[in-house]
Amino acid sequence: MDSIIIQGGRPLNGTVEASGAKNAALPLLAAAILTDKPVIYHRMPHLRDITTMITLLANQGADVSMDDQGCVHVDTSTSTNPEAPYELVKTMRASALVLGPLLARFGRARVSLPGGCAIGARPMDMHLKGLEAMGAVIEVEHGYVDATVPAGRLHGARIAFDKVTVTGTENLMMAAALADGVTILENAAREPEVVNLADSLRSMGADITGDGSSNIRICGVTSLHGADLTVIADRIEAATYLAAGLISGGDVTVRKVEADLLDAFLARLRDAGAIVEVGNASKDSDSWIRCKASGRLKSVNIETSPHPGFPTDLQAQFMALMCVASGSSVIRETIFENRFMHVQELRRMGARIVLNGNTAVVEGIEALSGAPVMATDLRASASLVLAGLAAQGETVISRVYHIDRGYERIEEKLGQLGACIRRNTPHTDMFRRPESAPI
């Protein structure tokens, strides 16, 4: 199994480019099911989760191809098998995003229940309740969701989510795009990835308004057509590289990302004393964000909440920053009940963190020390990479397949910024560091 080895203590400096967002790309790929015409994607990241979604579509009979430039073609005109099998869903919960599109296009779907998840229970009851309100008949048996639409076509409905759900909003928005009549989604997710999906569906011919607010109105149409879609920047990846610059005492710029995707995160960085500069895209340059600090950051408190609040997907990375900030910080996780698995690992590196239910109190120390640690989930793994960059000595992170689910070429991008990082793949040992970088 691969591991990542980091020699910490080197300031990271320079510029990297944000990749396309995994969490935007996944629903966009599922949306291809809604049309029998080809859909073309740009800025598709090369990630394990994307491969899983592509395999899922191919398994249903779709014709899928991807080139090295991140351009993907999906043609679902040949799809005949409206199923998402356990073998694929168990590796990626977001596979459930195909449920709404399959029901809307074929009137039936068989999708494995995702099962347990490291960061919490993560049920999909709100997805199912919403589809039932739109006329689907759903049975959950033998670990599968078996759904049919007796009327042949879903109908519009007014659906109020009990809790904000990102993929729930996306699933129902896609289902409603081809339903008969108007669907209103109340208490909908406002994440930029939801807006990227709504924009994409509109360019396929859907009639959607209100995305980006808590009330989304979808007026169903009889068919959608093919389109050229572009995945938005990965705000979580971009923020992770900005945090890498700060935690290592460096100065990092991330290009091709809009600062307004990261308002809450950047506001907390400014509160912590970071100098944040942003640039908007113009005819001569891309949009960019630059972060640096003079001296140690100050501790600040955060509480995760749905967009536009502080993203739960950045909680672990922010905690790594707070481990070496001056003072003590209170970090409250309100989205997932078990999203503190990185705490034990950070403690192995010397971090002083006290956990009490959904709250962590982090007392910043001068320096972390390198240690062998284990990646437990995607974003927890990113926090260990950050801690490793700041730590004195060597950090070896095992189970990095979690990182590969969501960070494209992470060692290469960090190496480009001057990190001393390499991946140890059994049988090969690829060293990625600048020529001048001493070990």
Contacting residue, 11, 120, 181, 308, with ligand UD1 by CB under 6 A: 120
Indicate which residue of 71, 117, 291, 420 is catalytic: 117
Contacting residue, 122, 153, 332, 399, with ligand UD1 by CB under 6 A: 122
Closest CB to ligand UD1 among residues 44, 419: 44
Residue 335 phi/psi, 5-degree rounding, is -95, -50
Size of the site for ligand UD1 (CB under 6 A): 22
For the CB of residue 97, give the shortest distance to ligand UD1 in the complex, in Å.
7
Question: Under a CB-based contact definition with an 8 Å cutoff, are residues 297 and 272 in contact?
Answer: yes
Closest CB to ligand UD1 among residues 262, 335: 335
**Binding to ligand UD1 by residue 127, rule CB under 6 A?**
yes
**Binding to ligand UD1 by residue 312, rule CB under 6 A?**
yes
Residue 173, beta-bridge partner list: none
Closest CB to ligand UD1 among residues 26, 346: 26
Q: Kindly give, in sequence order, each residue whose CB lies less than 8 Å from that of residue 215, ignoring residues fewer than 6 positions away.
A: 184, 185, 186, 188
**Binding to ligand UD1 by residue 183, rule CB under 6 A?**
no
Run of H or E residues at 111: strand 108-112
Helix residue ranges per DSSP H, 178-314: 192-203, 235-247, 263-271
**Binding to ligand UD1 by residue 192, rule CB under 6 A?**
no
What is the identity of the amino acid at 215?
Answer: N
**Binding to ligand UD1 by residue 126, rule CB under 6 A?**
yes
Q: Segment 334-363, which members bind ligand UD1 (CB under 6 A)?
A: 335-336
Closest CB to ligand UD1 among residues 10, 190: 190
Segment contacting ligand UD1 (CB under 6 A): 64-72, 78-86, 124-132, 346-354? 124-132
**Binding to ligand UD1 by residue 313, rule CB under 6 A?**
yes
For the CB of residue 234, give the shortest distance to ligand UD1 in the complex, in Å.
11
Contacting residue, 4, 25, 26, 266, with ligand UD1 by CB under 6 A: 26
**Binding to ligand UD1 by residue 200, rule CB under 6 A?**
no
What is the identity of the amino acid at 101?
Answer: P
Residue 362 phi/psi, 5-degree rounding, is -110, 120
Question: Under a CB-based contact definition with an 8 Å cutoff, are residues 377 and 119 in contact?
Answer: yes
Q: Hey, how many other C-beta atoms are within 10 angstroms of the C-beta on 331?
A: 25
**Burial degree of 37 (CB within 10 A; 0-12, 13-18, 19+):** middle
Distance CA 156, CA 178 (A): 9
Q: Of 355, 365, 352, 349, which is closest to residue 333 (Cα–Cα)?
A: 355
Q: Is 71 a catalytic residue?
A: no
Q: Kindly give, in sequence order, each residue whose CB lies less than 8 Å from that of residue 114, ignoring residues fewer than 6 positions away.
A: 89, 90, 93, 95, 96, 122, 124
**Binding to ligand UD1 by residue 163, rule CB under 6 A?**
yes
Segment contacting ligand UD1 (CB under 6 A): 149-157, 158-166, 223-231, 262-270? 158-166
The residue count of the chain comes to 439
Closest CB to ligand UD1 among residues 333, 411: 333
Question: Under a CB-based contact definition with an 8 Å cutoff, are residues 126 and 162 in contact?
Answer: yes
Distance CA 179, CA 195 (A): 20
**Binding to ligand UD1 by residue 364, rule CB under 6 A?**
no
Segment contacting ligand UD1 (CB under 6 A): 104-112, 160-168, 226-234, 282-290? 160-168
Segment contacting ligand UD1 (CB under 6 A): 8-16, 53-61, 121-129, 414-422? 121-129
Closest CB to ligand UD1 among residues 119, 420: 119
Segment contacting ligand UD1 (CB under 6 A): 98-106, 123-131, 243-251, 428-436? 123-131
DSSP 304: B
Q: Hey, how many other C-beta atoms are within 10 angstroms of the C-beta on 69?
A: 9
Segment contacting ligand UD1 (CB under 6 A): 63-71, 119-127, 198-206, 381-389? 119-127
Distance CA 22, CA 31 (A): 14
**Binding to ligand UD1 by residue 95, rule CB under 6 A?**
no
Here the tokens at position 50 are: 């994307």
Q: State the residues that interact with ligand UD1 by CB under 6 A.
A: 23, 26, 93-94, 120-127, 163, 165-168, 193, 312-313, 335-336
Active-site residues, by number, are 117
